[in-house]
Amino acid sequence: MDKVKVAVATVGASLLMFALAKIVAAKPPPEGEVKVIKVGVKE
């Protein structure tokens, strides 16, 4: 992959995680969803 695609993918992932964090902060999800998000952040 070229550097532009990698940069776009990285920014997209960062924005997605930021959006998920805001959603979780506003409205706590069920336990199952919390575990999925925590696993995603670790990776």
Query: Residue 23 belongs to what domain range?
Result: 3-42
Buried b (16+ CB within 10 A) or exposed e, 1-34: eeeeeeeeeeeeeeeeeeebeeeeeeeeeeeeee
**pLDDT computed for residue 38 by the predictor:** 60
**pLDDT computed for residue 42 by the predictor:** 55
Task: Note the pLDDT tens digit of each residue in 1-43.
Answer: 689 998 888 988 888 888 888 877 777 656 655 565 566 565 4
CB-based burial of residue 37 (10 Å sphere; 0-12 exposed, 13-18 middle, 19+ buried)? middle
Instruction: Indicate the number of domains in the chain.
Output: 1
